[in-house]
Amino acid sequence: MALLQISEPGGEAARPAHRLAVGIDLGTTNSLVAASCGDKVEILPDDKGRHLVPSVVHYSEDGSVQVGHEARARAAADPSNTIASVKRWLGKSQQEIRQSSQASRYQFDETRADTAPAIITAAGSRDPVQISADILSALRDQAESCLKGKLEGAVITVPAYFNDSQRQQTKDAAELAGIKVLRLLNEPTAAAVAYGLDTEDQGAVVVFDLGGGTFDVSLLSMRQGVFEVLATGGDTNLGGDDFDQAIFDWLQGGFAAKATAIAEQVELRTYAEKIKQQLSADDEVAVEWSEYSGKLDREEFRALVKPLVDKTILTCRRVLRDAGMEPGQIDNIVMVGGATRMPVIREAVAEFFGKQPLVSIDPDKAVAIGAGLQADVLIGNKSAGKFLLLDVNPLSLGIETMGELVEKIIPRNTTIPVAKAQEFTTFKDGQTAMSIHVVQGERELVSDCRSLARFELRGIPPMVAGAAKIRVTFQVDADGLLSVVAEELSTGKKSEIQIKPSYGLNADTIETMLQSSHEHAKQDMEIRAQREAQVEAQQIIDAINAARESDGHLLQPGESERIDAAIERLKQAIQGASSIEIHEQTEKLNRLSADFAARRMDLHIKSLQGESINAIESAEE
């Protein structure tokens, strides 16, 4: 037996080298990077001791790039070359980006309108992935300077409601920045990690995450070290920026001389943000702009932002409904994101849930700390046995079946990572190929869901309809990215695709999809029953017609005419009758053709008499 020497006799046990990995909170307004330093995770500062890095990039004519505080300082003087809040643009089309409140200051590259939307800067065209990569590069440099070594990996956080395209573009940006992504981690889950390891609280926890540009609410079960997301909801176009915009609009409406120049608007928007921040500490703020003066108090501010606050509470209500829970069943509410410092938000959350939220961890830092803890585990510095993270997919995933129906393979709010498979078959005799249409959504019809991708499986052996077995496997990884594999089981022929949609869903579309699924549930089930009846009826018609072509000589006088009449009545029912009526006509056709089917069966049984089982099997092979 071989011996493995662990250490010299009497010597100290060798310590494994500490590997360098960080957690990155890539935020809309500000970003942070955190790493394990000794026994705890800390936010890493820049060379001036600042922890928050503004998610702002400035491009100069000489090709130089500035990120963070230096870039934000250039915003008023050079707004068209200073890009902020780019996280909101990941996975979006140029049309969607143009609709954002800050898009008017930029010039878009029309040559890339149909591919990756891009902004023309002094340094050339830059798309959201490239701009995000510049921010991530600055965070990587900051981390390597603090840690005095090269990074081996990072956990990057994303909003829970980021879809496949937005997640993939986040990974693409990291790769462009030279960062190995250990995992994309949902921001609310990261916050739960930070709080779950620092406190003894267990049970149902709501993570209320209102950042600069995105909003998420997640309901988690935290029991015995397992963090499981039970339900999630949110808005990728709601955040602190929108509260700034409300004050900006109020300022514009209250002064005779409006800020019209882009530079003035940038300066006024920055001033609006300062007013918002001051209102978190003071009941009233004196407003001075140019030669005009006034004041804004908390009550007036509360009225200005009431529609935004109501949106956040409505999302909380929907998340609880999805999980079948009431506000009183929630044990703790964790506040995450700089915008949750606003008293108007904390008061609304406390009123809705009937208890005060937890704010013991700096809301700006909680997500980065959680990501840093997870990075330390994934890189191998700490045991993964201390906690387990279980996220969920926000929308159902499935494929199109006959009748333009959706067969859901992975339902909404399924814990990920996950792999699920279902078997399907061919619709027509001799069918040798199958088109796989992958869709996302909650409705029963393909037209009411979102198309993700299409691909084909070829090489299916020609068989009678329904004989082939095609297994379709859906796999969602820990980052929420989807791969689909279709396999014909008898031959092992495979076809697969990685789902990377061109553009993401905006928040309004996501909300509409979920709401419409509830509003049209009864109607959708009726339509599904009708479509399934139509498909079944057409299969029977095709089967009877094929049987008459091969064995028409077995028909009795007048029988063919009666079957023709029944088929015609069934075809008319297929055109728009209810599922009940279609089933009635289908049964009538079955009864009329039953004798013909029996004669065909007798004929084929007689043709097999006297043959051995081995001979029959050989013939089938």
Q: What domains appear along the chain, each with residue ranges and CATH number?
A: 21-239+306-391 (3.30.420.40), 393-516 (2.60.34.10), 522-608 (1.20.1270.10)
* Known active-site residue 172: no
pLDDT the model gives residue 467:
83
pLDDT the model gives residue 153:
93
The residue type found at 424 is F
Tokens of residue 250, six digits: 């109020």
Q: What is the CB neighbour count within 10 angstroms for residue 464?
A: 13
Cα end-to-end distance, the chain, whole Å: 52
Count of alpha carbons within 13 Å of 484, Cβ hemisphere only? Answer: 24
pLDDT the model gives residue 293:
81
Distance CA 31, CA 52 (A): 6
Q: What is the CB neighbour count within 10 angstroms for residue 523?
A: 11
Instruction: Count Cβ neighbours within 10 Å for each residue of 332-371 and write b for 16 or more, e otherwise.
Output: bbbbbbbbbbbebbbebbeebbeeebbeebbbbbbbbbbb
Say if pTM beats, i.e. exceeds, 0.85.
no
* Known active-site residue 322: no
* Known active-site residue 522: no
Q: What are phi and psi of 19, to 5 degrees?
A: -90, 145
pLDDT < 50: residue spans in the chain? 1-15, 197-199, 501-508, 510, 612-621
pLDDT the model gives residue 612:
47
- Give the active site residue among 46, 127, 187, 216: 187
Helix 164-176 × helix 128-147 angle, to 10°: 50
- Give the active site residue among 164, 209, 442, 524: 209
pLDDT the model gives residue 386:
53
- Give the active site residue among 46, 87, 172, 524: 87
* Known active-site residue 209: yes
pLDDT the model gives residue 301:
93
- Give the active site residue among 25, 96, 134, 364: 25
pLDDT the model gives residue 173:
93
Instruction: Count Cβ neighbours within 10 Å for each residue of 478-517 and write b for 16 or more, e otherwise.
Output: bbbbbebbbbbeeeeeebebebbbebbbbbeebbebbeeb
